[in-house]
Structures are given as structure tokens and as C-alpha cells.
Structure 1
Amino acid sequence: MEDVSGLIERLGELHQRTRETPLFNPVFQLGLDLSRALEAGEIDLNALEGLVSELECESMQSRSKRLRRLVAPVDPATNSAALEDTFQADDIAEFKAQWERPQLHAVFTAHPTFLLTPDQSNAVAQAASKQDDIGAEVCITGASRPQVTLEYEHARAMRAISHAQIARDGIVAEALAHAAGKWPDEWHAIQPLPFRFASWVGYDMDGRTDIKWYDSIGFRLGEKAERLEHYTASLEAIDADHALLDVLRPALAYARSRAADFGEDLTVPEAMSEAANRLTADDPHKLLSLTPLIDALESEAREAATERAIKLKTLAAAMRADGLGMGWIHFRVNSSQLHNAIRRRIDPDNALDLSSKGAMATLRELLARVKPLRSNFAALAIESSTAIRQFLAMAQILAHVDADAPIRMLIAECEQPSTILAALYFAKLFGIEDKVDVSPLFETESALEHGGRFLDALLAEEAYQHYARLRGRLCIQTGFSDAGRFVGQIPASLAIERLQGRLSEAMETNGLTDVAALIFNTHGESMGRGAHPDSFADRLTWPLSSWAKRRFARAGIRLEPEVSFQGGDGYLFFATPELARATLGRIVEHRPAETDINAPVDPFYRRTDISLDFYRAIRAHQREHLESKTYSRAVTAFGLGLLNSTGSRVSRRQSDLSADRDMSLRQIRAIPHNAILQQLGYPVNVIAGIGSAADGNYEEVAALLMESERGLQLLRLARSSNALASIKTVAAYGELFNSAYWASRPYRGTESHLSDACEVLAEYLTKDDRTGVFRRLASRLRVDALKLHRLLALIPNENPLEDRENIRRTIGAAQALRLALLQHMFIKAVSIPTFSRANDISRDDVLEMVFSLRVEDALAQMRRAYPTNYPQITDFAVDAPSDYPDGDGEGYTAIQRDFIDPIERAYGLVLRLSTAIANEFGAHG
């Protein structure tokens, strides 16, 4: 077992033993084999690190291959030819209809999803961008992980958007060239707008308090400067002496200066006042609208030669799409923040139920008589309410940064129409109602369950109807984070789909078919968060199905689909110009904003006697897990200790040590929850319940799924996840806490040198509940999995995972290696000499920290108990002699070397294996 191939071979041999003993666990046994060799000195941590590096390398290659497969072809020439094949319009009117409507709004979001280091991301992207075989060039292993800051996230978002803009420009130019060739006398009428880009990085206040108001202003000014730099460079490439450069260049210099102002610490009133006054003062170079420049470019293009005209119109199209920023921006708050803000206006005594008819009547009256108020940066600086502060910030951006680009106001956990009316009130109060798109987020189980009634009530409100017509669109947001965690991924997708259908009905019922429906699906990345892993076509239609799109089309409602590309994984699609062009190319080919209105009805929606029961049964099964203390304890058994820190927003709400054992799933955010499931070996929220839902009706369910486009898509998600899943791995983690295992390990003198440590572990773990928890969970998963396999056996696998068994064995080898490292950490932790309680932390507390993988906390306490740096008598210039101390002064160096450092190093390898396993799953969170 000197290399990974040896581990995989040994794991295969061990799997054969399950035929003799069904309860035999090959993953745990391989972990024990490695642990014995490590503790006997036959191998050391250096050797294990070599295996970890090899697994990391293979996983990086896997990630790069998957990325290329999803967006292939990546060759620019091939993509140009593929784009040419999409130009099928017979007349210019049809061509305009296809190209003057965004096929997709792409939002670059960020949460804890930056798994790879910058160098690793670049290596994966560069390898995926080429046609060559992917080899060792992608293998950047053991890299130190820089802290993921908000500034880093924002910079990566802007980099991805920049590549997307360049790719869009190329597509627009080729579309214009085609039109100029086919309709030489009419093509100037075309104003292409195939994509819009946006970001909420730096503006999302849901679940975080670390973003100051001037951070958001500073980010927006920085984005303005960056976009003006791109516009200037594009125009210089067309004509270095172009007259409009006299407008763009000084505007760029002005924007850079103002961005620098707001990049400083503005907590001091004097500093804030100076920065604000420079931004709000009249200045000829302030440039708040691109409309005059767009008109000038279009006008010049009509008189120019074709080649120059295409370049001018391409630049105008970019300005029309993005405005004075890298794209549009999305602010986000929580509904509770809005409730707190509106109560100050209508309910200072906190006596009114905001969901009541009385509250709605009060809000209607308030909206009818509200008069806009002027505001300035001082009002923004002193505002204590998060929600009001966001509206004030939007008002300042629209007044002093970009007057044209609308701003989205996303409201998380929005479950009652009064919340939207409250948002409209503040938009009206600050005079920005005509530029702000208020969008409720439907993601929690309650929101999805009652969302139809919510939409019926909201769209019946006269004030909301007036607002929607003023904006020309109404917006909703559906998400897969909390939905996928508390409902399950497949039930979440079907519930979201039904909600989208209810939106089309409510719009038709209330006479709002004259406005567009913008549906933002924040499905994020990674298997199990709504980003379907099987193909890019599935990725686009999973959150907004053909059935839902046809509902809008038949009602005559223009649909504007919007999706998120989240963090490290989503940004990889735009990490190089080649990948960005390939990604947008696939979107153009699939045309997610359009649908065939005459397509036959999918049997999945016709046979609701089967499909609805199927959905309800999966959902009920998922709820049983979520309500089970067994599931909650297993998922939280290691806290977040199996995960790398992958974002600037905290992944866990704070708790003390005593609360860890009873940690609720609600203390862990959705992204790390899904990540933990993959690290434990079984994505419960994707797979669980499908088999049980078909129990007793396998043939009929299988027949329906096989006949249905949507049903097969559900199965492709389940198969993709199941192909990587291992219930044996789930069970293996429980055996780490099995007192009987530790008591028996040195039995009959096999590992006598571990007798003392194993005895301590065995005695300590007699009171630990995790072995039983993992065994119960594994048993429940196994029963459901048997039923799933019975269902899948009836349905041909249309797209089997290549090299499935080798990938599974590779993941199994990584899991076994991690089990060996965890055992090494446990043995070292109990072998450290006993130290006295200090600062209310005992030795047992430190052991529990290690067992729960709060390793950094444990190491800090160990180093406090056994310091290696301490005052020396020679540090003091004291005249009186002393014979004491009479030792050699080594202190606790040996304890540091033999116990503390190995724990730290082993844990570092554990986290590197977490990255490798996440890569195999295609995950980033």
C-alpha cells in the first residue's frame, strides 16, 4: 500500500469479504490497516502525506475533466462554428426577437464555496480550457490556503464577470456580422442583449453583519471604475482618437478617485463627510448615465463601414447591458430586518401582527400617502436599521454612481405580502421606487408550501400592481439551499416548479400579463444544491423546467430566467476566456428563456396520481430524517471540523462546548450541511426517500419515470449522486467512537504499545453516543437504498458514470486514509500527560474538542498547558546569584514534538483529503 493504486487494490480485496460477512466494513478495515502500520512505525506521516498528495492530484484532474465535459467544446473556433449554426431566423424581425431579449441573467454570488486556492482554481481552469489530455499540470497539492475575505470574493466575482463580458462581446459581434451579411439594409436596427450579468458580493446582508455601508458604496464605485476602464480600452481599440474618449477617460479618473475615497475607513465623521462631499458635488466628469454615449455610438455606426460599425454596436450593446458598473447589483436582507424597520413606522409598541389584515390595511394607507424624502450620506451613516440602511445606500448609488441601472432588493425568508409592501414603502420613501426591483425569496419549507397563496394575495394588491407596471417586471427568487436541506433536493425542485406555475396563474388572474416575470433561481453549485451535475442542459432546466416555462408562454407572459454562478465552482465556468465563451455558447444553444409551446404534455404532470404521491413520499421521508435526532447528531458529530473554511461569511452560528453535543442543524448553514453529507459519504438530501417512495409500486413508478423528460432528469440527479455514495463509509465513522473497538484493538498483544492509549479511549467512549447514532443512520439508509436499487434496476441507465467503480474506490481510499489519520489524532490526544484544569477547560474538554474536530481550539489549550516558549533566567539583568533552575530548560519541547505537532499535521492532512473528496463529488461548499 505504498501508493493509491495499492490502496484501491487492497480495498477491492476487502470488498470481496462482504460476500462472507455482510456487516464487514472494507473502508473501516482499510483505515485500520493504515492505522496499524502508522502506529507500528512501518509508515509515517510523510508517507501518508504522499498518498494524500496523490489523491489530491487525481481529484483535481477529475474536477477539470468534469468542468470541460459540462461546457464542451471549449475550442474558440469550434464555438464560433456552433454559434453560426444557431442563426436560423428567416427574417430580421425573428432575429431581433431572438437576440434583443436576454436568454439568461447570470448572477455571480458568493457564500462559503471557495474550496480551491487561487492557484488550484487557475490550474483546473487552464487544463479544462484546452483540448489536450489533462495531466500533472493540474496537480497543485498541499497548497497553503489564504484566508477567504470579502475583498477576495469580490475580486474573483469581478474577474469572472469580466471574462463573461468579453465572451458576450464576441457572441454579439458574430451575431451582428451575420445580420449585416444577411440583411445589409436593415441590420442597424438590431440592438443585441443576449445576457445580463449581476452580483450580490459586497451587498448581501442576510446572515452577516461584517459588511459596513461604505464597503458597499466602495465596491460599487470600484466596479464603475473597472467597467469604464474596459469601455475606454474597447473604444481605443476601435479608434485611438475617438471623440468619446474625451468623455470616458476623465470619467474613469474621477471614478477611480471616488473609489479610493470609499476604500478608506469612514467610521470617523470627518473622513466620511469629506468622501461624501467629493462624491455628491457637481463635477463635469461624474457621468451618471451612458445613454448619450450609446446613442452616439449607434448613430456613428449607421454611417460607418460594416467592420467598424459592428465594433461600435458591440460596445454600445455592452453599455446597454451593464451600465456604469460590472453588471447590475443585488442587495439582500432578511425579512425580519424589514419587519423591525417597518415597526418603527407603524407599530413602535410591537403589538401588531404584521401578517394580519389590520397590518395590510395600515401598510396600504401608508403607501398611498407616503411622500419621498431626501437623504444623504450622513443619514446613511447614522442609520441603525440594516434594512433602511440598504435602501439609503441604494438611493445614494442611484443618485451619485449610476442613475440608469436598476437595483434588486432580495428579501430572504419572505413569507407574507406585508413584507413586500414594507419594502415598497421604503423604496417610495427614498424616491427610488422606479429603479428598485423588490424580490421575495421562497426557500424555506413554509415559504414553498404557502407561496402560492402569498403570490395570490400580493398580486391582488393594487399598490403592487401599479409598482410592477412601473418597473415593467415582477421578480421572485427561489433557492435550493434551505429548501434542499429541509425538504430534500428533489422535493424542493418540484415544489419550486409548482410555485413558478402558481406565479403564472396569479399574473394571469390579476391582469399582469403585460409585465415580465423575472425568476431568479439561486441554485448555486455542487451536486445537491440545485446545480444538476449530469449536463449543462440539465443544469439550465432543473431549476426552471419546460413545464413551468410553457405556463408563462401560454399566458403570454415574457419570462426572464436568472440563475446564480456561485463562488469557486460557479466562477470556474468563467475562469478563462475559453471557458466563458464555451459556457455562454451552451446557453445560447439551449435558449433557456424560450420553450416549445406546442410540445406534448410530459406524463409526469399528467399522471399526478402517481407523481404527486411520489413527491409527497420523498418529502415525508426527508422530513423524517430532519426531525430525527439520529440524523441531526450524525451530521453534527464532527461539527464543521471535516470542512475547510471556504468563505468570508461564517458557516456556523456560535455555540459553547457544552452545546456541541446537542447542536441543531439550524446552527449549520445550508452549504456546509450539504458538504458534510458528502464528506460522510452519503448525500442524504439528494438520494434518500426515492426508493421508499416507490415501495409497493415499483413497476408503475418506473414506467412513468422512463416516459417522462422530467422524471428521467430526477433520476439522472439521483444516479449521479448515488454513483459516489457509500453507506459503509457512513457506518465507518461511527466505529471511531466504538468503545469496544478500542478495548479490543490491542487484544492478545497485537498492539501492546497502544494498550494504555486504547484503554483510555475505550473507557472515555463508553459514554459516547456516536457509534449507535451512525449505526442507526446507516441502517435506515441501507433499507431505503435497497428499495432505490430495486427501482433503478427497472430503468436503463442512459448516461452511466465513466469509470464508476474506480472513482468509488478512490473516494473509499481517501475516506480510509482519513479514518487512519483521525485514529492517530485520537491516540495522540489521550497519550498527552494529564494537565490541570485552567480557564474552566479540563483535559476531558480538550479530548472532546479533538473528537469533535475542534482541533484548533484543542491545540491552543494543549500549547497553553505545555508551553515551549517561556521566560529564561538569562533574560533578566539581576545582580544576585541563583543556582535554580538547575535543569536543561527544555521544558515541554518533547511533548510538542511527539504529541501536539503530529495532531496538527494529521489534521492538516484530514482537511486536504476533504478537498479531494469534494472534488470527486464536484462540490465546493
Structure 2
Amino acid sequence: MNPKIAALHERLRELHDRTRDTPLFNPVFQLGLEFSRKLETGDMGLADIDDLVSSLECEGLLARAQKLDRMVAPMDPETNLATFRERPGDFAAFAERWRHPLLHVVFTAHPTFLLTPAQAGTVAQSASDGSMDGAHVCTAPYDRVPITLDSEHDAAMSAMSRAQGARDRIVRTLLASARDAFPSEWKSLAPVPVRLATWVGYDMDGRTDIGWNTSIRYRLSEKAERLAGYAAMLAEAAPDIAGKLAAAAEYTGEMAVNFAKDLSDPALLSHAANTLTAAHPDKLTSLAPIMTQLETAAADADDATAIGLLTAVAAMRADGLGMGWIHFRVNSSQLQNAIRRRVDPESKLDLSSQAALGAIRTALREARPLNSNFAALAIESSTAIRQFLAMQQILKHIDADAPIRMLIAECEQPQTVLAALYFAKLFGIDDKVDVSPLFETETALEHGGRFLDALLAEEDYRAYAKLRGRVCIQTGFSDAGRFVGQIPASLAIERLQGRLADAMKANGLSDVAALIFNTHGESMGRGAHPTSMKDRLEWPLSPWTRRRFVRAGIRLEPEVSFQGGDGYLWFGTPELALATLTRIAENPPGETDSDAPTDQFYRRTDLSLDFYRAIRRVQNMHLVSSTYSRAVTAFGLGLLNDTGSRRSRRQSDLASDRKMSLRQIRAIPHNAVLQQLGYPVNVIAGFGTAADTNREEIAALLVESERGRQMLRLVRAADALASIKTVAAHGELFNSAYWASRPYRGTEEHLTDACLSLAEYLTKDDRVGVFRRLASRLRVDAMHLHKLMDVLPEATEELGAPISGREHKRRSIGLLQSLRLALLQHMFLKAVQVPVFSRSNDISREDVLEMVFTLRIDDALTQLRRAFPTSFPSIDDFAVDEPSDYPDGGDSGYLAIRRDFIDPIEKAYELVLRIGTAIANEFGAHG
């Protein structure tokens, strides 16, 4: 460890020891004050803090690499492939096992690209080759690059490409095993060990920056990339077919270029549309004939050639004419607006009413397919209808075989699903589109069981499900974890999934599959559970849920998201991709032992239901509390880097910033802010309090139950890094008494005026009281948690690391927090010392101060630079004969203002954001 860091660790330990004598003493804030004093006297400069942050950044990146290694090790390809070299006893059983994917892996985005591409690359490589030291993982630059939808899409495609390569290796291994065991039958094996999908570029929920042509362009570019991949796979074994595929790839690439142009120009749109829809020898919309050719060729080929040909067929069977399947997503309100135009143009119906349900049923039964073209797509104003028109064009002109998912966010009534079915039928694609309602909000989770009962009772829906061969739902953990709490959300989602099994059985749908898409969430990092791959897969789709489907005779199609920068790391190298798929195969999320004894957590519902409800009450208390809301939004989203192309918050002005609601920010940044403030409330809160009235029995239940032990592992992982003192320390930044007292003994006389200005400004600020109240509530709850832990068997490890390493990680986080507190104080002091400037564009000096306090630093710097410009037209630029003594240099002081105040604020904020990344890495979080 860096000697300076080691000394600071020791200093923080000494300060922590003082809490024994003075319980209210705050070691994190005290160390921040010590840094601040050195910074303001010049004994320490921003460059010195930069050096410390660089060392701590390395620790964070190393922690990220170590977690990745721990979750998916071993990395050796041959060791992992050995998992698939089984000796099957019965060909039919072997073929059936591998005919269905073990898992659907969905590559999603949203604001979760915390690491720069270079940082992500070194973390992935270090985890892959075992170079777990700073010399390897810390070589990446920290300079951030803009995150665009295109860069997110490129990253998703790269991850999917590596996943495809790993799957191909698994398929070849399975084929070789079948060849050895079944020499006369093996060529009929049709393995699909995993299916890939993405919604990057197709998800319209919460964003308006994705045009219909963006989705068409992406689908064409994905098709071109996949066709080129197929051609490369077949270059030696089937050169004629490879040539045809390569030509189709080139043609498709040209089509993608056409759809990247400005299609607001009718001429350009007409050209792009006519070129794509016209007959062409290189236009390919189905792989079925080619797959048949390859299978025929394999039947007569030698074993090695046949394995190569059949591996290509397996890839085509899994992916179709794209890098994988695609998921469109809209919001329920968008669908409701669209269906109202068709069944209730005068807006007389309540769409949640039985009358509306009857109207939609009638419309659905009477719907007759309509053809459309790209011109119709271009002029359509309804977002929802536009998505169906885009899907129709994709199925007609790009890939006729691969089904498309239609995800509906905030779907809380059957009418919305039937509306989606209506539009699918209206455009003749109901046989290729899987409509999937998302259950994530409080209302959806609370009433989801009744929703499913009502939906599956609909005759038209049952007919549609049988046509598609599956019932699809999506369960989300981000919003659920924010509004209900991570543990209550998981248990509520689990019960909802169980209700789906019951509803399918009750409505005669046991002969179709249940596709459950779990999109995880930000609890202790993306992926819902941080301790092992087994927990990661079981947390959102538990063995209890799986048994409900097995016992009902319903085949499960489990699906999970691997989201953004964190999710793509699991597929960051070929070795990581293979290791990840192998760990999935070792813990198949769609399988379970139906005869296993019932977990005590579900048997002892007299305890577990009360426990769940009590946790949820505590979480809800925070949610509805103005104290909690104000604390979480005290700094806006200024503690977080920009981590995605989708906006993390909705637009607001300064006044609304001061009263920002939790619903003004999205779930991922909300949960990330909790970690930045030092305490994952959405994971820990309520767990101890819920056990307080019956501690011994709850403790015994948690230990006896595997589900209970999973909860304990999650809570312990969060508690190992949590610090209520850190939460409280953030509030002291707004403490008027602190600023008034800081120069009181004459130790910092040079700061007297600045401190008094801050003290005066903050006399009416509510944030110090808010943080103190929140910290008090968290402390009471945490004391109950620690009482519970005292009666539980002692943990021997946290996050896969020995307990002995826990304090080092806590000290590192505490050091990062202290450095950031010093930087925030530096920014506050600099901002308050900026000379008064005249009101401009309705922005006053007080507004700029408030921007700094809420960390809207870019806005503040823009206003300050406008008030104090340093670039002026020069008189020397003009060839004027008459002499002039003016300007006489009277404005040169603006350069000093820029140097002494504005530039230091900018530099300090850059360090604040880097510290935020380092803290997030210690938590294992993205976004």
C-alpha cells in the first residue's frame, strides 16, 4: 500500500477510537476538516489530493476485478469446457435438455456505464488472466469520454459477440460429446445452450431520443455484423454458402448506411425505403433454407466438418438474422393513448373500466391485418403505434424468423396487454411478437396476482399464448428496490412469479412455457446479489418459484439482464464470457429439485410474512418521509458521473431542485446516491427492526432457510461497507454553526470572511437537520440489526473476502469520503469568495451559490465565466488611425478571478467525480 495511504488509514483508525469516549464524534468529518485546513493553508494542493485519489482509484478498480474473478472463477477455458463434456446415457434426454436455452441473456443499457472503456478493458483483462495487482488494473486513464446511444450499442454488440464465441465453443463441445456417445444419432442434435437478446436502441420507455430510423438502422447493422460472422464460420467448410452470406452482409451494411441519413428529407427516406424493400439477389430475410442446406451437408460430411457446420446452424437457430433477439419497450401510458384513438376517440371511457375492456375485446376480435410502409412509419405520431410499425417492417424486410419482445413498463391492468395484442394483430405480427408486461411499481407488485388472474382468464389472451407457445412477464428490481426496498421487492416478485404458475395452471396453459425476464437492480451493485453466481441467479428467480412451475408441469424460460458497463464486464473477454456461461450452466436457473423439502422460510409463514411486512413498513417510512427525500436529493445527482445516454433526471429549475422529489430521479441513480452518501438504505433498512419483537425465532428461521441465508449474505455485504457517520458528515457541510465556529479560535483568520458568509447564508438551510434526523433513524434501525447479528452465527467472510480485509475496505471508503468532504468545502469557500456580479439572465450570485451547494457545477461555472469573461475583442484587431488610451487594463482582474476561484472549483469537482467512481467500485456498483 502507498505509505501515504497507509498513514491516513492509521489516522482514520485513531479518530474512530475517539468515538468510544465521544459517541457523537464524527471521524470521517474530522479527517475531512484536517484535509480542508491543509488545503486552504496551502500545505496541501489539489495536485496532492489528485495523487491520493489516484492511489485509491486503483484500489477500487482492483476490487472490481477481484469481484469479477470471484464470481466466475475458474477462468481456464479447458476447465470450463469440461463441464459440458458429460457422458449422456440417453440421446433423447440429452437432446431435450440442450434443445431449450438454460438462460436468455439480455444486454441492456440505461445509465450504468461508470467505467471508461479503457478502465473496463483493464478490469476485464486482469480478471481474465489473474493479474490482480495495481500494475495491471490501474493502467487505464480516468479521462471520461461522452456516452452516446451509439457507444452503448457498440459496447452491447461487442459483449454479445464474445458471448456468441463462448456459446460456439460450448456447442462444439456438446456435439463432440454426442458424437462419442451416439455415433448414429448425434448429427440430429440441435443445441441452444443460451439465447442472447438486447434492447439497446429499441427501448423507448423514458426517452425521446431514439427515432424509429435509429431502431431500423441498428437492426440492419446487427444483421450485417451477424451475417459476416456466419460467413467467417463457414469460409472453409461451406465456401459457397459463406460467399452468399458475405454478399448479404455487404448488401445489408449498405442498407444500414441509408437509414443513418437524415430521413426527415422525404427523398432520402423514399430512397432508403425503396432500396430496402425492393427485390435483390443479396436480400436475405430467412435463414431456414440455408440451415437446411448446412444440415444436409453435415449429414454426409466427416465428423470434424460436420461439427463446424452444425455449430453454425446452432448459432443461426439461436440468433437468427441479428446479433440476438430484440426487445422493444414502451410505457403503458403510450399504449393507452394509442388504443384510446381506436376504441374511444371521444375519451368517454375510463380505460380501467369493464366497459373499456369490452371495447378492446371487440376491437381485438374484429381487427384485420393492415399493411404499412416506411412512409406510414415516418408520419406516425404515436410512440406505441410507431413501435408496432417498426416491428412490422423488421419482420417483413430484415428478419422474418426471429420473434420480437414487446415490453410494457408500468403495466397495471389487463386492458393494456390486450391493447398491445390488438396492435400486433392489426399489423399482422401477433404470431411473432411476445407481449410482456413489466411488474415493478408498488401498485403492480401489490395487485400483480389479480392482474395475472384476470389476464389469463381472457379467452383472446389464452389463444394468443398458445399461438406463441409462451406467456411472458418482466419483473424489475430497480424501481421496486427503490420504492419497496430490495428485500421486500424480491419477496414480492417471488410471490408474483408463483401466482403466474397458479394462474397458468388454472387457465389451461400448462402446455406453454413461462418466460420470466428479471431485470435485476441496483442493490449492492448491478445484478441484485453480490456474493456468488448462484445467489445472483437464485435471488430474482428462487428455487421456491421454480418448484411452483415444475410441479405445475410448466416449462420455465428464465431470462436475466446483464446491464451496461457492469453487465458487459462479465463478457469482457473470451475467457470471461465462457466462464460466465459455464457458471450459469452449473446453476441452471430454470431447473430445481421438485422433491426438495420446503424451505422453512415458506413453511413458517407466521414468521416470514410478518418479517417481510415489517421490513416493508420501514422502507415505506423512509420513502414517504420528507427527511429521506431531502437527504437523498440534497446534492441533486452531483455526486454521480454521467453514466449513460438516457437522462438520469427530469428537467427542473432551481426552485424545484430545492424541493426535488424522489420521483424526479430514476431508480438507478437514486440507489447509487445512497451508496455515495455511505449507507445503502434500500438494502439494509428495516431488517433489524423487523426482527426486534421476535429476534431469536427470526434468527433461527434465517439460519435454517437457504432463502434466509441469502438475505443475510446480502445485508451483511451492505452492512460491511455502510457508515452512518458518513451520512451524518454530509449534513455538517450545511451546518451554519460549523462555518461560524471554524475560524473562531483564530486558526484560519484568512477564511474568516468566507466562513462568516457561508454561516450567514446557511442559517436558514434545512439540510443539516435533515441529515441528522436521517442518521438518527438509521442508527436506531442499525442497533436492532446488530442485536440480530449478535444472536446469529458469526460470519467468516464478506463479499467472498476474509473478515480481516473488511476494515481495510471500510478505511479506504472512509478516506475517500473525507477527501471528498474537503473538496466540497473547498468548492463552497471558493464560490462564496467570488466577487458580487450583476444579475444576468435571471441568474443571481445566490443562484450560483445554490448551484454549487447542489453540485450543479457545470451550470455554476457557465454562469461564473459569463459574469467574469477573460476573452475580449482586442483593440489591436482594428486598423483605426485615431489613437486611444482605453482600454487601460482595468479588466485584467477577471483573469485572477478565473485562476483563484473558478478554475479551482472545476478541478475540485473533477476530483469529486473521480472519488465517486472509486466509491462505487468498492461497492461493486455501476450507476
Same fold (TM over 0.5): yes
**Cα distance in 2 for residues equivalent to 1:797 and 1:233:** 55
* Structure 2 counterpart of 1:515: 512
Matching residue's letter, 2:48? A
The answer as to whether partners of 2:411 and 2:438 remain within 8 angstroms in 1 is: yes
**Secondary structure in 2 aligned to 1:841?**
coil
1:873 to 865, 875, 882: 875
* Structure 2 counterpart of 1:792: 789
Matched, 1:244 2:238: no
1:905 to 888, 907, 911: 907
Matching residue's letter, 1:268? D
* Structure 2 counterpart of 1:736: 733
**Cα distance in 2 for residues equivalent to 1:886 and 1:851:** 37
Cα offset, 1:499, TM superposition: 0.2
2:561 to 560, 564, 588: 564
**Cα distance in 2 for residues equivalent to 1:618 and 1:771:** 27
**Cα distance in 1 for residues equivalent to 2:167 and 2:140:** 34
* Structure 1 counterpart of 2:111: 112
**Cα distance in 2 for residues equivalent to 1:704 and 1:122:** 43
Matching residue's letter, 1:913? I
**Secondary structure in 2 aligned to 1:812?**
helix
Residues 173-322 of structure 1: matches in 2 within 5 Å?
173-239=172-238, 242-322=239-319
Matched, 1:4 2:1: no
* Structure 2 counterpart of 1:637: 634
The answer as to whether partners of 1:161 and 1:326 remain within 8 angstroms in 2 is: yes
2:820 to 818, 821, 828: 818
- CA RMSD between the two structures: 1.2
**Cα distance in 1 for residues equivalent to 2:75 and 2:509:** 41
* Structure 1 counterpart of 2:837: 835
**Cα distance in 1 for residues equivalent to 2:87 and 2:536:** 24
Cα offset, 1:82, TM superposition: 3.4
Matching residue's letter, 1:186? E
* Structure 1 counterpart of 2:924: 922
**Secondary structure in 2 aligned to 1:453?**
helix
* Structure 2 counterpart of 1:709: 706
**Cα distance in 1 for residues equivalent to 2:437 and 2:381:** 23
**Cα distance in 1 for residues equivalent to 2:884 and 2:33:** 53
Matching residue's letter, 2:789? L
Matched, 1:96 2:95: yes
**Secondary structure in 2 aligned to 1:537?**
helix
The alpha-carbon distance between structure 1 residues 246 and 46, as it changes in their structure 2 partners (threshold 3 A), is closer
Matching residue's letter, 2:850? E
The answer as to whether partners of 2:525 and 2:924 remain within 8 angstroms in 1 is: no
C-alpha deviations, 1:527-555, integer Å up to 9, x for none?
A: 26552100011000100000000000000
Residues 645-724 of structure 1: matches in 2 within 5 Å?
645-724=642-721
* Structure 2 counterpart of 1:844: 846
The answer as to whether partners of 2:523 and 2:671 remain within 8 angstroms in 1 is: no
The answer as to whether partners of 1:552 and 1:558 remain within 8 angstroms in 2 is: yes
**Cα distance in 2 for residues equivalent to 1:524 and 1:72:** 23
The alpha-carbon distance between structure 1 residues 864 and 132, as it changes in their structure 2 partners (threshold 3 A), is closer
**Secondary structure in 2 aligned to 1:365?**
helix
Matching residue's letter, 1:315? A
**Cα distance in 1 for residues equivalent to 2:200 and 2:754:** 48
Residues 760-799 of structure 1: matches in 2 within 5 Å?
760-798=757-795
Matching residue's letter, 2:6? S
Residues 469-618 of structure 1: matches in 2 within 5 Å?
469-524=466-521, 527=524, 531-618=528-615
C-alpha deviations, 1:346-373, integer Å up to 9, x for none?
A: 1112221111110111111111111111
* Structure 2 counterpart of 1:52: 53
C-alpha deviations, 1:433-471, integer Å up to 9, x for none?
A: 000000000000000000000000000000001100000
**Cα distance in 1 for residues equivalent to 2:102 and 2:770:** 48
**Cα distance in 2 for residues equivalent to 1:854 and 1:340:** 35
Cα offset, 1:319, TM superposition: 0.3
The answer as to whether partners of 2:523 and 2:680 remain within 8 angstroms in 1 is: no
C-alpha deviations, 1:182-232, integer Å up to 9, x for none?
A: 111121221001110000000000000001110100000000000001000
Matched, 1:34 2:31: no
TM-score by length of 1: 0.98
**Secondary structure in 2 aligned to 1:759?**
helix
The answer as to whether partners of 1:53 and 1:142 remain within 8 angstroms in 2 is: no
**Cα distance in 1 for residues equivalent to 2:891 and 2:337:** 60
**Secondary structure in 2 aligned to 1:892?**
helix
**Secondary structure in 1 aligned to 2:24?**
coil
% identical equivalent positions: 69
Cα offset, 1:307, TM superposition: 1.3
**Secondary structure in 2 aligned to 1:653?**
coil
**183-192 vs 732-741, which deviates more?**
183-192
**Cα distance in 1 for residues equivalent to 2:219 and 2:509:** 33
**Cα distance in 2 for residues equivalent to 1:879 and 1:46:** 48
**Secondary structure in 2 aligned to 1:748?**
coil
Matched, 1:861 2:863: yes
The answer as to whether partners of 2:197 and 2:323 remain within 8 angstroms in 1 is: yes
Structure 2, unpaired ranges of 5+:
none
Cα offset, 1:284, TM superposition: 1.9
Residues 268-417 of structure 1: matches in 2 within 5 Å?
268-417=265-414
The answer as to whether partners of 1:524 and 1:565 remain within 8 angstroms in 2 is: no
**Cα distance in 1 for residues equivalent to 2:302 and 2:572:** 34
**Cα distance in 2 for residues equivalent to 1:409 and 1:311:** 34
Cα offset, 1:310, TM superposition: 1.0
C-alpha deviations, 1:747-777, integer Å up to 9, x for none?
A: 1211111111111011111010000000000
The alpha-carbon distance between structure 1 residues 799 and 181, as it changes in their structure 2 partners (threshold 3 A), is farther
Matching residue's letter, 2:44? I
The answer as to whether partners of 1:493 and 1:530 remain within 8 angstroms in 2 is: no
The answer as to whether partners of 1:525 and 1:565 remain within 8 angstroms in 2 is: no
**Secondary structure in 2 aligned to 1:561?**
strand
**Cα distance in 2 for residues equivalent to 1:876 and 1:53:** 48
* Structure 1 counterpart of 2:133: 134
**Cα distance in 1 for residues equivalent to 2:125 and 2:141:** 19
Cα offset, 1:484, TM superposition: 0.4
**Secondary structure in 2 aligned to 1:804?**
helix
2:618 to 621, 646, 655: 621
C-alpha deviations, 1:486-540, integer Å up to 9, x for none?
A: 0000000000000000000000000000110000001146626552100011000
The answer as to whether partners of 1:218 and 1:262 remain within 8 angstroms in 2 is: yes
The alpha-carbon distance between structure 1 residues 460 and 402, as it changes in their structure 2 partners (threshold 3 A), is same
**Cα distance in 2 for residues equivalent to 1:436 and 1:577:** 32
Matched, 1:892 2:894: yes
Matching residue's letter, 2:602? Y
The alpha-carbon distance between structure 1 residues 445 and 799, as it changes in their structure 2 partners (threshold 3 A), is farther
The alpha-carbon distance between structure 1 residues 892 and 132, as it changes in their structure 2 partners (threshold 3 A), is closer
Cα offset, 1:89, TM superposition: 3.3
Cα offset, 1:301, TM superposition: 1.3
Cα offset, 1:246, TM superposition: 3.6
Matched, 1:122 2:121: yes
**Cα distance in 1 for residues equivalent to 2:233 and 2:243:** 14
**Cα distance in 2 for residues equivalent to 1:143 and 1:290:** 44
**Secondary structure in 2 aligned to 1:348?**
coil
**Secondary structure in 1 aligned to 2:727?**
helix
**Cα distance in 1 for residues equivalent to 2:369 and 2:641:** 47
Structure 1, unpaired ranges of 5+:
none
**Cα distance in 2 for residues equivalent to 1:879 and 1:345:** 75
**Cα distance in 1 for residues equivalent to 2:526 and 2:610:** 23
Matching residue's letter, 1:900? I
